Chain A
Amino acid sequence: MPQFEFDGQLIETKPGKTIIEAAYDNGLSVPHFCWHPELPVAGNCRMCLVQVGMPAKDREGNFELDENGNKKINFIPKLQIACASPVQDGMVVKSVSDEAIEAQEAVMEFLLINHPLDCPICDEAGECKLQEYSFKHSKGQSRFDEEKNHKRKRQLWGPNVVFDAERCISCSRCIRFAKEVAKQDVLTFVQRGDHVTIELFDGTTFDSPYSMNVIDICPVGALTSPDFRFEARVWELSSNESISHFDGTGTNVYLGVRNNEILRITPRNNMYVNKYWIRDDARLSYDFVNKNRVTQPLINNNGTLEEANWEDAVSFAASKLDNFRGDQIVFVASSKATNEDNYIFNKFANEISKTQNVIYFTHTDETRIDDLLGVSDITPNTKGVEELNIGKESKIKPNDLAEKLKNGEIRAMYVMEEDFEDYPEILEQLKNLSFLAVHSYNMNKKINHYADIVFPASTFAEIEGTFTNLNGRVQHFTPALVTKENYRFMGMKMSRLDKFGADNDRWTNHEIRDSKQSWKIIQKIAKKLGEDWNYTKSSQVFDEISQNNPSFSDMDYKKLDEYQGLVLGKGNNPDAKQVNYISHYLKPQQTQKVVKFKG
């Protein structure tokens, strides 16, 4: 294993690694723009210039020593780029020597010559790598007082990417991403020198399902998202870690929230799941959380849904559910709900309603399949529901539900976080039921009209829980949005504006919904029916799952967070922690976490 000295520190690394890779693997950093661990090395920004040398040897092969007895180092006369220089045993690298600093400052000065410096109107401001380096690696002064070059702003590359040529620093990350990761090779540099810019090949658009990732990896604000453009300054958002609800991949994300609304979803690294990427459809899938929510329990009164308080709603549901036992009732669990919710739901069915009839439905979209992150399953927790043995012993199967509803064999149904929008034949038959209770997110779902009672269910962004992705990785997430239920818990996690808003401030007029996490609703009903269930936190439910279900054994929330998720059945044998490279990040809330690993 080659050992080399980096700014006076001895580092051991694997053969074949470049200086910058070895540095990041060991929690150190080298200033850079164009290098990205998942993209081929381009070496064109020159920001990573460092001094590189080898100890001098005499003819016999012994190290030459200087008068103080230290090894004499022969530095390569010109500085080298750390991103393309492989490490050699015994090498000496200096990234903070006078020469290296002078070079880095010179590169920054060059980059800023034609940069418009329009941070006030730039969406990247606050999480911009160029801004960051202007503080860290630049003199803060320009000697250029001529007219700046102007280039075209606001060019649409595709439906989801806007390009501002002036701000581009020509790092080519986007070009390499399009070619190597998105496999849509449509971008190229044109012109030369300070006129260089990026264009699409004639007649093409950049509409890959991964196109928006270039917005995140672009170190500056040259690439922006039409969806988020000018919506908010990034420092106004709280940035909470979560798991994407959109598909079975279990993409790790940040939810950007202001005024109790999700304004953007950005990817979070997890080398075992999504690496640095997220699909565009998952990124843009937050509307159902913000809009058209069921905010209060609703009871059906002769065809109209009337608002009710929780006490009445729970008593009503309990008294009705009490009438149906065994095979008269079917419970529909959901692959959109967490492991915790499904577990408690199943427990309610088995222990209180004395039925094994718990089923769940799958939702798929075959057009999404690809070999990066695309899977056909468009729900986040199918694997988890399956692993909880839901539906294994049910006498009724999802396929014959419509038939059984039609001939009246089933008299009551309890549906949790399932809307049957893609099962119209079932929706149609729901009218035959004598009692239907649902947990619903949105008002505009058809199932609400058939329901006798609609409970407002909290979405993934408002609850704590776990999803199991299709590869069996159990991942923990916590709430990003405030509901009446989690208001106190959220406290400092809210954005600054939300934290300090008063009643007469219009900027914090957000809706605080009275929705609840599904397992809490179920527990309320269970208590009404005389059970003594006393779960107070999702973690208690998860601990019980972990005790009862061998696949989840040796797992708890702390461990899930620590290892960025654990694979089913491997709770005591976690995957090695990975180095988390973050190119540029939101300051100051979202801190750069560097996990050190050896080897």
Chain B
Amino acid sequence: MNNRKNTEAERLTFWEKMYIPEIARGLGITLRQMFKPKDFVRQYPEQRWEPTGSFRGRPVLVEEDGGERCVACGLCARVCPALAIEVQAGETPREKERYPEKFEINMLRCIFCSYCEEVCPEEAIVMSKDYEIVYTSPQEAILGKDELLVPKAKLQDRLEFLRQYK
């Protein structure tokens, strides 16, 4: 649904429409930044950057009560534009009946779009803060359930973010 309102405040003003003054203004901002002294370099890896909840790092599975929340519905695999996710369901005696017997994300395919997170009916897959994604072989980049499961407590920031903005 297109619920964008074309309000008075959103429309371009006359001067903005004139284009040239806007270019000058933009250049002005750039030039001002150039002469402002700033600390650009971070001493990585000693000095790490801690992303906020809105950051989209490596997708992970939420672990709750010693098991995954995921019910292996396969929606994330279906929606994934890069076909990074593979889910194979299995049956469990638990109330939810289904669980992922196999859950693999191919990090060489993943494009960090967070569609999987958005489509998941169980809030079982979320984007983590992990941005250090390095592998030495293509096979290593396919993460299984053991590497994907992260306890819920560690994902609080993201879950909180989703609750507010999703």
A residues adjacent to B (C-beta < 8 A) = 119-121, 125, 153-154, 229-233, 235-236, 496-497, 500-501, 504-507
Contacts and interface: CB of A to CB of B under 8 A. Distances in A.
Contact of B73 (A120, A153, A229): A120
A506 B86 contact: yes
Contact of B86 (A119, A153, A496, A507): A507
A230 B89 contact: yes
Given A230-B91, A506-B104, A120 B83 contact: no
B3 to A, nearest CB: 17
Contacts of B86: 505-507
Given A230-B98, A235-B78, A120 B104 contact: no
Contacts of B121: 120
B72 interface: yes
A235 B87 CA distance: 13
A120 B119 CA distance: 11
Contacts of B142: 504, 506
A85 to B, nearest CB: 39
Nearest to B104: A506
Interface of B: 71-75, 77-78, 83, 86, 89-91, 96-98, 104, 106, 108-109, 121-122, 138-139, 142
B75 A120 contact: yes
23 contacts: A119-B73, A120-B73, A120-B75, A121-B71, A121-B73, A121-B96, A121-B97, A153-B97, A154-B97, A230-B72, A230-B89, A233-B73, A233-B74, A233-B78, A236-B77, A500-B83, A504-B106, A504-B138, A504-B139, A504-B142, A505-B86, A506-B106, A507-B104
B98 A505 contact: no
Nearest to B106: A505
Nearest to A499: B83
A235 to B, nearest CB: 6
A495 B76 CA distance: 17
Nearest to A497: B83
A506 B91 CA distance: 22
A119 B106 CA distance: 26
Identify the 8 closest CB pairs spanning chains A and B, nearest first: A120-B73, A230-B89, A507-B86, A233-B74, A504-B138, A121-B98, A120-B121, A121-B71
Nearest to A230: B89
Nearest to A501: B83
A120 B83 CA distance: 19
Contact of B74 (A229, A236, A500, A504): A236
A506 B121 CA distance: 25
Nearest to B120: A120
A417 B78 CA distance: 39
A504 B108 contact: yes
A496 B77 CA distance: 11
A245 to B, nearest CB: 27
A233 B119 CA distance: 16
Nearest to A502: B109
Contacts of B139: 504
Contacts of B75: 120
A127 to B, nearest CB: 14
Contacts of A125: 73
Given A230-B72, A497-B83, 11 more contacts: A120-B73, A121-B73, A121-B98, A125-B73, A235-B78, A236-B77, A500-B83, A504-B142, A506-B106, A506-B142, A507-B104
A526 to B, nearest CB: 43
A497 B96 CA distance: 26
A505 to B, nearest CB: 6
Contacts of A235: 78
Contacts of B83: 496-497, 500-501, 505
Contacts of A153: 97
A500 B109 CA distance: 12
B57 to A, nearest CB: 22
Contacts of B91: 229-230
A115 to B, nearest CB: 15
A230 B92 CA distance: 11
Contacts of B138: 504
A151 to B, nearest CB: 13
B136 to A, nearest CB: 14
A154 B89 CA distance: 16
B71 A120 contact: yes
Contacts of A230: 72, 89-91, 98
Nearest to A503: B138
A236 B86 CA distance: 11
Contacts of A505: 83, 86, 106, 109
B88 to A, nearest CB: 8
Nearest to B144: A506
A229 B72 CA distance: 13
B115 to A, nearest CB: 16
Nearest to A504: B138
Nearest to B70: A120
